[in-house]
Amino acid sequence: MPENWRASVSVGGSPGADDTVSLREWLAINGMAEGEESSDLDQDGIPALIEYATGADPNSFNANAVVVTLIGGAFEFSFKKSRAASGVDIVLEYSTDLNLWAPGVPIGTIDMGGGD
Ligand SMILES: [Ca+2]
């Protein structure tokens, strides 16, 4: 059924198979255990959970997994959304005091393709 379709990790898709990689599987593949989602093994400032969501390698320094740019008084966030992490929703939040956080209001989103 079409509502069950989603973008595949592989070019040409993966009919009849699920190519989703759960967070638990991804942590194990990358030498981490559950509970280490906040770890930063490669010390690039990007926690493991964000690297999972963006398809970045948690064992390879990549400070550009999320790029934040201030344009005309608004922040622009650029990142890939991993197709393998299909159970993850990326929600941007903001805070004025780093204690209370609220969802940001997106002006728009642009799908640039190329997610892994
Ligand atoms: Ca990292």
The whole-number pLDDT of residue 52 equals 95
Report how far apart, in Å, the C-alpha atoms of 19 and of each of 86, 90, 99 are: 9, 19, 37
The whole-number pLDDT of residue 86 equals 82
Residue 112, domain member (yes or no): no
From the CA of 47, how far away is ligand 1's center (Å)? Answer: 5
From the CA of 50, how far away is ligand 1's center (Å)? Answer: 8
From the CA of 40, how far away is ligand 1's center (Å)? Answer: 4
Range of the domain at 90: 1-8+15-107
The whole-number pLDDT of residue 65 equals 84
The whole-number pLDDT of residue 42 equals 93
E runs forming strands in the chain: 66-71, 74-79, 93-94, 102-103
Residue 113, domain member (yes or no): no
Can you list the residues of the chain whose pLDDT is less than 70?
1-10, 12-15, 113-116
From the CA of 52, how far away is ligand 1's center (Å)? Answer: 10
Number of domains composing the chain: 1
- Tell me the percentage of the chain whose pLDDT exceeds 90: 46
The whole-number pLDDT of residue 87 equals 83
Runs of H (alpha helix) within the chain:
23-29, 48-54
From the CA of 33, how far away is ligand 1's center (Å)? Answer: 15
Residue 91, domain member (yes or no): yes
Residue 115, domain member (yes or no): no
